[in-house]
């Protein structure tokens, strides 16, 4: 009896607390369901309407006939209760609808009805554009808007859609017409591989823009003449012009100059490709010719490349006043020998691409190439003359010579180059290697993130100010001396260079 009374009293003591906890939980649950139901209820008079992540979606430089990337718009319901969007639609004009959209996973393409958006909730609208050709050379603006009609609200809401479009010349798997000129009136789109045939010449005038798709290579078997000017560069890049893609490598193939082909390129920008320029082909002479491929490249930029900025194979290359930046393998590589002259070039990294470059070199030189498929070792004679070049990168060693495999010794002349290197072989004073300086990890460019590879005059001037005067070197170059002086008398941007006391690299000194 005593035990029973003890248990009875214990239960009576505990029960009020249990009941309080239970009812507290029940009230919380009811409050939760009350809030949820409130958000799911329809607001008959949604005075707050919708708010938007932006009031305008802008598609910059859309080529006609090509669909753009998809832009994302976020819409918000700021009301406590839900709202019903009776319709979301684009207007178009004269039966033409350049914009299409998805909303909450439902595809318009031009109209979606009855979209319920809970209170304090949001949804995404995905918008893309495709512009029809207007047969105009000048760019044009296409305007439309997404209109949101909300139940219980008389005033409709709009988000403006703008596309800056341009007609273009589309080239698909063809050889260009012989002895023709590409002008800047319209861009040229390389949908897939385009070529210049043997015996034919293609001239590209200043300011012309060429855009390639990811399967497109530009193959030169004849003659390519690119006649850019300072401030009116000829541009080669991928077809995606949105900011996100501005530094992304591998968007198109690159330029291939085959055995027997010849290219003279001035003031060009070649970027965002798999390979910048390949000059020549591995193995014995191909294409029915014994002439090596030839490239004269000056005052140009090669940037954001998957592997090689220039890959020269048993060819002849003269490079003056260029910069090579963000190349995954090498800025300049020579295989199977060849003759290359390099004057006032700059090699660097911007920091915009996280390349894994261990064991890679900005400048890589070899007289051989082992063909893994045929087990054949192809060799040639390697002759390199490098004067007043600035070679810098993230590795302790940014220059490498392969082991000699060919019949002849290397013919190497290095004068007054600034090189990031941990060896002493380039910095001894001799007839063949003289005036070169070593760059350490503390070297700085002026603004590499914006691809300005002028040396920082505050931190690096003393290191790179000892360039070889041009008059002291012209006797080694085949060709008219005065033409040589005029070409090196300006830097990569067209600014005047002091030929008696030049700054090493492609850029003359400039202030921040």
pLDDT (tens digit, 9 = 90+) per residue, 429-486?
555 568 888 888 889 999 999 999 999 867 666 678 888 887 666 545 544 555 777 8
Among candidates 444, 458, 461, 452, which has minimal Cα distance to 501?
A: 461
Cβ-count burial 12-34 (b if 16+ within 10 Å, e if not)? eeeeeeeeeeeeeeeeeeeeeee
Among candidates 59, 290, 270, which has minimal Cα distance to 166?
A: 59
Cα–Cα distance for residue pair 477/470, rounded to 1 Å:
11
**Percentage of the chain modeled with pLDDT above 90:** 58
Backbone angles phi, psi at 253, to 5 degrees: -75, -60
Q: Is the predicted pLDDT of residue 26 greater than 80, yes or no?
A: no
Strands 382-387 and 277-279: unpaired
Q: Enter the pTM of the model.
A: 0.78
Among candidates 333, 323, 318, which has minimal Cα distance to 445?
A: 323
Q: Is the predicted pLDDT of residue 251 greater than 90, yes or no?
A: yes
Backbone angles phi, psi at 2, to 5 degrees: -70, -40
Cα–Cα distance for residue pair 342/470, rounded to 1 Å:
13
3-state SS assignment for residue 30 = helix
By the 8 A CB rule, do 306 and 328 touch?
yes
pLDDT band at 33 (very low <50, low <70, confident <90, very high): very low
pLDDT by residue (tens digit) across 117-127? Answer: 999 999 999 99
- Least confident stretch, 12-21, 50-59, 89-98, 106-115: 12-21
Among candidates 490, 502, 499, which has minimal Cα distance to 230?
A: 490
Between the ranges 20-24, 65-69, 383-387, where is the mean pLDDT highest?
383-387
What tokens were used for 271?
């970027």
pLDDT by residue (tens digit) across 261-319? Answer: 999 999 999 999 999 999 999 998 887 777 899 999 999 999 999 999 999 999 999 99
- Residue 269 has what pLDDT? 98
- Residue 96 has what pLDDT? 86
By the 8 A CB rule, do 292 and 313 touch?
no
Stretch 204-221: mean pLDDT, rounded? 95
The percent helix, strand, coil of the chain (3-state, each to 5) is 10, 45, 45
By the 8 A CB rule, do 331 and 275 touch?
no
Q: Is the predicted pLDDT of residue 80 greater than 50, yes or no?
A: yes
């Amino acid at each position: 009896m005593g035990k029973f009374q003890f248990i009875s009293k214990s239960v009576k003591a505990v029960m009020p607390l249990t009941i309080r906890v239970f009812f507290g939980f029940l009230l919380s649950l009811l409050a939760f369901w009350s809030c949820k139901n409130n958000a799911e209820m329809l607001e008959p008079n949604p005075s707050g309407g919708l708010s938007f992540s932006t009031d305008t979606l802008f598609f910059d430089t859309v080529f006609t006939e090509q669909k753009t990337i998809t832009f994302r718009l976020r819409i918000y319901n700021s009301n406590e209760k839900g709202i019903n969007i009776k319709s979301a639609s684009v207007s178009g004009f004269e039966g033409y609808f350049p914009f299409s959209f998805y909303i909450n996973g439902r595809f318009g393409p031009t109209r979606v009805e009855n979209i319920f958006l809970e209170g304090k909730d949001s949804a995404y609208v995905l918008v893309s554009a495709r512009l029809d050709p207007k047969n105009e050379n000048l760019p044009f603006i296409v305007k439309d808007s997404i209109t949101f009609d909300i139940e219980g609200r008389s005033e409709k809401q709009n988000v403006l859609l703008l596309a800056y479009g341009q007609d273009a010349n589309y080239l698909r798997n063809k050889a260009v017409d012989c002895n023709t000129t590409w002008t800047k009136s319209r861009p040229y789109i390389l949908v897939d591989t385009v070529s210049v045939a043997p015996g034919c010449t293609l001239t590209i005038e200043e300011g012309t823009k060429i855009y390639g798709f990811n399967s497109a290579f530009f193959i030169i078997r004849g003659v390519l003449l690119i006649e850019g000017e300072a401030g009116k560069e000829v541009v080669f890049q991928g077809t995606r012009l949105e900011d996100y893609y501005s530094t992304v490598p591998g968007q198109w193939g690159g330029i291939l100059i085959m055995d027997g082909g010849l290219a003279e390129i001035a003031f060009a920008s070649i970027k965002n490709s798999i390979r910048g320029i390949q000059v020549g082909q591995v193995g014995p002479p191909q294409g029915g010719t014994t002439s090596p491929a030839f490239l004269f490249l000056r005052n140009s930029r090669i940037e954001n490349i998957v592997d090689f900025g220039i890959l020269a194979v048993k060819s002849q290359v003269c490079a003056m006043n260029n910069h090579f930046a963000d190349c995954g393998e090498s800025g300049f590589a020579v295989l199977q020998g060849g003759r290359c002259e390099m004057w006032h070039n700059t090699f660097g990294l911007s920091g915009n691409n996280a390349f894994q470059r261990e064991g890679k070199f900005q400048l890589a030189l070899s007289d051989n190439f082992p063909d893994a498929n045929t087990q054949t070792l192809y060799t040639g004679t390697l002759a390199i003359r490098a004067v007043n070049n600035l070679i810098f990168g993230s590795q302790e060693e940014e220059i490498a010579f392969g082991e000699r495999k060919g019949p002849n010794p290397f013919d190497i002349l290095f004068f007054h180059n600034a090189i990031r290197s941990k060896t002493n072989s380039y910095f001894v004073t001799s007839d063949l290697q003289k005036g070169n300086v070593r760059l350490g990890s503390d070297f700085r460019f002026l603004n590499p993130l914006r691809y300005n590879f002028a040396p920082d005059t505050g931190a690096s001037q003393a290191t790179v100010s000892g360039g070889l005067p041009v008059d002291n070197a012209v006797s080694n170059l085949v060709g008219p001396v005065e033409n040589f002086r005029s070409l090196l008398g300006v830097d990569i941007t067209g600014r005047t260079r002091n030929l008696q006391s030049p700054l090493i690299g492609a850029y003359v000194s400039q202030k921040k």
